[in-house]
């Protein structure tokens, strides 16, 4: 049996010039097991398991990896794990949210934004990030209009420390505002939550990128018996123009293979 891959299904991320796989690998489970919203508990994989997962993802044609300072030790682990593979990956990280002592806290100041990006570069052992997103606390318009975080990201982009920037928000108004200056928005879009569809449409009309978080509703997707929830989710996503890639956060090799096979099948439909 031929194993389906995504190698020939990469697509543009808006007008950033980046080509990304239609599925990206989310890495919160490589670094943090507290305060996560998955339906079942899990054990953070050891280095051997994490390396195997990354190699599997790469072999299946996934080139987009999603991480963040708020994902515990995810960035610190990815740096050594990705040595020698830097040109194979589009790395997305974030600014604004920190996670310590089991609690999130937020800082969108210019000083912290710069510190955060430069710290991510060190942790990930690279001189640039392809994409940096603002990790919103839900006060999307306040962050975009009052904190100057975008000004700092624009400066870091001019310095070559990041190629593109955008916003991972929680409201339609925030997503639309974020696209005015940003290159990309990360939105929630799944079988049970589609309120941010106007942000996807706006991005499509203006050549901006869209990444989808919670594409499988953080593992909570349930449907009637006999319906594959992963296939139904990907049909919803990939039938909507403007979506470049959906982030899946699995650490289960079988789930990852199934996700890729299903996405490839949906995207190759006549």
Active site residues: 71
Rounded distance between C-alpha atoms, residue 107 and residue 137, angstroms: 10
Element (DSSP H or E) covering residue 250: none
Q: Using alpha carbons, list the distances in angstroms from residue 156 to 93, 104, 119, 165.
A: 14, 24, 13, 10
Q: Give the span between the Cα atoms of 136 and 134, in whole angstroms.
A: 6
CA 25 centroid distance within chain: 7
Q: Give the C-alpha separation, 142 to 82, whole Å.
A: 36
HEC secondary structure over 47-84: HHHHHHHHHHHHHCCCCEEECCCCCCCHHHHHHHHCCC
Exposure of 50 by Cβ count < 10 A (0-12 exposed, 13-18 middle, 19+ buried)? buried
- Identify the bridge partners of residue 222 per DSSP, sorted by sequence position: none
* Sign of the dihedral through C-alpha 81, 260, 255, 18: positive
DSSP 8-state symbol, 34: S
């Amino acid at each position: 049996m031929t194993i389906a891959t995504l190698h020939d299904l990469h697509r543009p991320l808006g007008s950033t010039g980046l080509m990304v796989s239609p599925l990206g690998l989310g890495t919160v489970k490589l670094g943090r097991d507290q305060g996560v919203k998955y339906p079942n508990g899990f054990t953070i994989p050891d280095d051997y398991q994490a390396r195997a997962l990354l190699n599997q993802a790469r072999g299946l044609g996934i080139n987009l990896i999603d991480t963040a300072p708020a994902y515990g030790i995810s960035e610190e682990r990815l740096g050594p794990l990705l040595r020698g593979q830097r040109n194979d990956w589009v790395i997305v990280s974030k600014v604004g949210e920190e996670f310590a002592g089991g609690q999130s806290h937020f800082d969108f100041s210019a000083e912290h934004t710069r510190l955060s990006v430069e710290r991510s570069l060190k942790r990930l052992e690279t001189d640039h990030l392809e994409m940096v997103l603002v990790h919103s606390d839900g006060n999307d318009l306040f962050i975009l209009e009052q904190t100057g975080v975008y000004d700092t990201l624009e400066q870091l982009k001019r310095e070559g420390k990041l190629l593109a920037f955008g916003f991972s928000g929680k409201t339609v108004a925030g997503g639309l505002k974020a696209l005015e200056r940003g290159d990309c928005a990360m939105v929630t879009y799944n079988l049970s939550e589609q309120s941010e569809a106007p942000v996807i449409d706006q991005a499509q009309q203006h050549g901006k990128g869209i990444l989808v978080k919670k594409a499988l509703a953080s593992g909570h997707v349930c449907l009637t018996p006999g319906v594959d929830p992963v296939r139904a989710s990907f049909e919803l996503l990939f039938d909507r123009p403007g979506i470049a890639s959906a982030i899946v956060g699995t650490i289960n090799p079988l789930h990852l293979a199934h996700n890729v096979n299903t996405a490839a099948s949906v995207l190759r439909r006549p």
